[in-house]
């Protein structure tokens, strides 16, 4: 191990959405997720960098507006600053809104004498006609001040040098009354002397755009159109890569299986490994990877551009009427990619009551793993004979309707919870609307692939692999002449018929608890009486198989509803328990979406049967 002259502890603090994580990434070479919306960092991130043969361990603290915490993540920051176990504290300020940022910076300087001010986003400030006199600011506050543009790397070397100077000198003692230095001036006075602003075209452009994107008439319709567009791109773009990946993994699996068989390995072990584990894992990869590789970058582009907090602004009124928090819309949007990520993201909600509501209801919106089955069922039973381009548009529209339904159900269940188990008055909150920024396309693609797509994929693979063994055992171990899987299917069939499904569909959902992606292939395995997960044929053949096994429009509709509203997957359940530390709330998170799905399926099945009797 390389030896360093000294080791120092550094921390990054500041208001939300000032670019702390970008500075952190630039210093450490790590790829912490950054986004152009407030409340993104929800716990400490740690990394390190080397400068002049000294090791610097750096902490990226959650953003906060003051040293009086109002949420769990703000407590983390305030406790860290109060304890003072650092050699330098870098306070990152946004040059485009320096007046507000200075208030927090001067609060910190009253507590600490190891401060370096980093005036970030200086390039954006210049575009907006804002000029910051860094030398004057340093003189007035008696602390080092560095202007940076962290996204392009400008000023970061100078920032490292200033940090080095601070950690190597003995700072003066801080009294309880605060530092008796020029920084005792009021922040308004400091701002007036060090910052010059003039109206710019950029400000006008942001205001004009906001008049459209967050207006009462146009805000929600534009949001829905964007949603449809994202779904269309995901559906249209993922079809062929999924087929290509499935074919390659299937061929490779068959080849590998033959090689292992030639080693005289017992057949039962080979079948369990390849027909159970390998087939399940290859299914997860071929079904999840292409749509995630499209959806996550598109979602991240919305973050990077600054549009995501405007979604929260548009939906805040509706969530407020449901007695919940406007930030729940952000965590709900995260749930479309992965419900487990959405649950973790609920930490940005200040109120414990409203945080619990957001956690419990997050799985009411479909994650990325449910989309392939939703799209396949929509294509087979609700599209008809359309061209490929027209079909993808129709699929996106129907899928968008289902998503809107899931949002409405989320609001309704949130309202129910706020009036029963989690009764209370909705808290108010200040939502910062960041400036619109041109997304960094290359960084967005790289970051979303490695930090989101592959992360979620690997987690699903780890959970689904043992499930493959269990499914294989159930399908291949018989009682009498009938497999255990078929016995389970026959047992569940009477109840499943009441809610418009059948035993094969219900057992597929139960065994699909580790990962939603394997529900459809398990269903096929039961219908075709095969001992391993089945490769999906083309949609025409698949529809014929389903119809031959009794599927109707009612069955398809009930399956769509149950795919939307059922218990969270195992990964999400584990995440819920880790976040709530409560068996009660974890079980409630399981029961509520399941109850919604069962009730809605029963209603559809009842109405369908009633209409059938009337028509007879």
- pLDDT tens, residue by residue, 498-530: 999 999 999 999 988 887 877 887 888 788 777
Domain spans of the chain, in order of start: 7-198, 219-615
Say if residues 104 and 170 touch (Cβ distance below 8 Å).
Answer: no
Going by pLDDT thresholds of 50, 70 and 90, the confidence category of residue 181 is very low
Mean pLDDT of 200-209: 71
- Collapsing DSSP to helix, strand or coil, 502 comes out as coil
**pTM (two decimals):** 0.71
Residue 314 has pLDDT above 50, yes or no: yes
Comparing CA positions, the residue from 516, 518, 526, 520 lying closest to residue 490 is 526
pLDDT digits (tens, 9 = 90+) for 437-496: 777 777 777 777 776 677 767 766 776 677 778 888 888 888 888 888 889 999 999 999
Written as six digits, the tokens of 285 are: 């990869």
Residue 389 has pLDDT above 80, yes or no: no
The mean-pLDDT minimum among 194-198, 323-327, 462-466 falls in: 462-466
Using CA atoms, how far apart are residues 335 and 345, in angstroms rounded to an integer? 9
Mean pLDDT of 140-168: 91
Which class does domain 7-198 fall in?
alpha beta
Mean pLDDT of 153-171: 87
Residue 192 has pLDDT above 50, yes or no: yes
Rounded to the nearest integer, the mean pLDDT of the chain is: 82
Going by pLDDT thresholds of 50, 70 and 90, the confidence category of residue 568 is very high
To which H or E segment does residue 46 belong?
Answer: strand 45-51
Using CA atoms, how far apart are residues 40 and 348, in angstroms rounded to an integer? 7
Say if residues 377 and 560 touch (Cβ distance below 8 Å).
Answer: yes
Phi-psi region of 483 (alpha: psi -120 to 50; beta: other; left: phi over 0): beta
pLDDT digits (tens, 9 = 90+) for 252-311: 888 888 888 888 888 888 888 887 788 777 877 777 778 778 877 887 788 778 787 788
pLDDT digits (tens, 9 = 90+) for 329-368: 878 877 887 788 889 888 878 788 889 999 999 999 998 7
Using CA atoms, how far apart are residues 178 and 184, in angstroms rounded to an integer? 8
Find the length of the chain.
Answer: 616
Written as six digits, the tokens of 420 are: 């029963």
pLDDT of residue 44: 64
Pairing of strands 195-197, 130-132: antiparallel
Phi-psi region of 572 (alpha: psi -120 to 50; beta: other; left: phi over 0): alpha
- Collapsing DSSP to helix, strand or coil, 196 comes out as strand
H-assigned helices in 262-321:
267-271, 279-305, 308-321
Residue 558 has pLDDT above 90, yes or no: yes
Using CA atoms, how far apart are residues 546 and 530, in angstroms rounded to an integer? 15
Residue 177 has pLDDT above 70, yes or no: no
Q: How does DSSP assign 30-97, residue by residue? A: ------SSTT---S-EEEEEEETTEEEEEEEPPP-SSSS--SHHHHHHHHHHHHT--SEEEEEEEGGG
Mean pLDDT of 115-131: 88
Question: Percent of the chain, pLDDT > 70?
Answer: 88
Burial (0-12, 13-18, 19+ Cβ within 10 Å), 325: buried
Distances (CA, A) of 394 to 191, 350, 383, 384: 54, 40, 7, 10
Going by pLDDT thresholds of 50, 70 and 90, the confidence category of residue 539 is confident
Count of H helices and E strands in the chain? 26, 10
Going by pLDDT thresholds of 50, 70 and 90, the confidence category of residue 160 is very high
pLDDT of residue 37: 44
Helices 371-382/219-261 angle, 10° precision: 100
Going by pLDDT thresholds of 50, 70 and 90, the confidence category of residue 606 is very high
Say if residues 378 and 403 touch (Cβ distance below 8 Å).
Answer: no
H-assigned helices in 362-423:
371-382, 388-419
């Amino acid at each position: 191990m390389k030896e360093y002259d000294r080791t120092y502890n550094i921390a990054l603090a500041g208001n939300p959405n000032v670019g702390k994580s970008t500075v952190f990434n630039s210093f450490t070479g790590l790829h912490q997720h950054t986004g152009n919306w407030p409340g993104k960092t929800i716990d400490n991130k740690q990394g390190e960098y080397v400068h002049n043969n000294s090791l610097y361990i750096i902490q990226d603290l959650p953003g906060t507006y003051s040293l009086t915490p109002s949420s769990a993540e703000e407590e983390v920051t305030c406790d860290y600053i109060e304890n003072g176990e650092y050699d330098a504290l870098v306070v990152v300020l946004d040059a485009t809104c320096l007046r507000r940022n200075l208030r927090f910076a001067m609060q910190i300087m009253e507590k600490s004498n190891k401060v370096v001010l980093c005036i970030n986003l200086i390039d954006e400030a210049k575009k907006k006609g804002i000029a910051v006199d860094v030398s004057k600011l340093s003189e007035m506050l008696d602390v080092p001040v560095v202007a940076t543009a962290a996204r392009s790397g400008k000023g970061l070397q100078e920032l490292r040098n200033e940090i080095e100077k601070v950690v190597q000198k003995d700072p003066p003692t801080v009294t309880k009354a605060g530092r008796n230095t020029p920084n005792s001036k009021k922040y308004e006075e400091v701002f007036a002397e060090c910052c010059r602003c003039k109206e710019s075209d950029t400000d006008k452009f942001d205001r004009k755009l906001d008049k459209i994107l967050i207006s009462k008439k146009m805000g929600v319709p534009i949001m829905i159109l964007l949603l449809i567009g994202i779904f269309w791109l995901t559906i249209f773009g993922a079809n062929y890569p999924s087929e290509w990946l499935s074919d390659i993994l299937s061929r490779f699996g068959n080849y590998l299986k033959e090689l292992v068989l030639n080693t005289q390995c017992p057949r039962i072990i080979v079948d369990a490994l390849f027909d159970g584990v390998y087939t399940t894992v290859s299914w997860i990869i071929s079904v999840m990877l292409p749509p995630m590789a499209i959806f996550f970058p598109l979602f991240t582009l919305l973050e990077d551009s600054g549009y995501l907090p405007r979604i929260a602004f548009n939906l805040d009124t509706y969530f407020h009427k449901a007695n919940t928090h406007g930030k729940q819309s952000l965590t709900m949007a995260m749930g479309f990619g992965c419900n487990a990520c959405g649950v973790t993201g609920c930490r940005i909600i200040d109120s414990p009551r409203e945080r619990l509501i957001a956690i419990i209801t997050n799985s009411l919106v479909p994650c990325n793993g449910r989309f392939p089955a939703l799209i396949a069922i929509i294509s087979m039973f609700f599209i008809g004979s359309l061209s490929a381009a027209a079909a993808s548009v129709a699929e996106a529209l129907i899928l968008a309707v289902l998503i809107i339904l899931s949002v409405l159900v989320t609001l309704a269940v949130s309202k129910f919870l706020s009036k029963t188990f989690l009764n209370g008055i909705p808290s108010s909150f200040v939502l910062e609307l960041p400036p619109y920024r041109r997304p960094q396309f290359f960084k967005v693609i790289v970051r979303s692939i490695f930090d989101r797509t592959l992360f979620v994929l690997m987690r699903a693979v780890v959970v689904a692999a043992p499930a493959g063994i269990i499914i294989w055992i159930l399908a291949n171990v018989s009682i009498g002449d009938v497999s255990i899987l078929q016995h389970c299917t026959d047992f569940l069939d009477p109840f499943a018929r009441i809610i418009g499904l059948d035993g094969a569909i219900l057992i597929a959902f139960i065994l699909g608890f580790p990962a939603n992606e394997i529900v459809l292939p398990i269903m096929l395995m039961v219908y075709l009486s095969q001992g391993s997960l089945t490769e999906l044929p083309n949609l025409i053949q698949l529809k014929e198989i389903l119809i031959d096994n009794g599927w109707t429009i009612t069955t398809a509709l009930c399956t769509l509803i149950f795919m939307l509203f059922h218990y969270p997957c195992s990964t999400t359940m584990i995440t819920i328990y880790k976040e709530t530390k409560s068996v009660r709330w974890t079980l409630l998170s399981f029961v509520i979406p399941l109850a919604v799905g069962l009730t809605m399926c029963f209603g559809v099945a009842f109405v369908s049967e009633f209409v059938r009797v009337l028509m007879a």
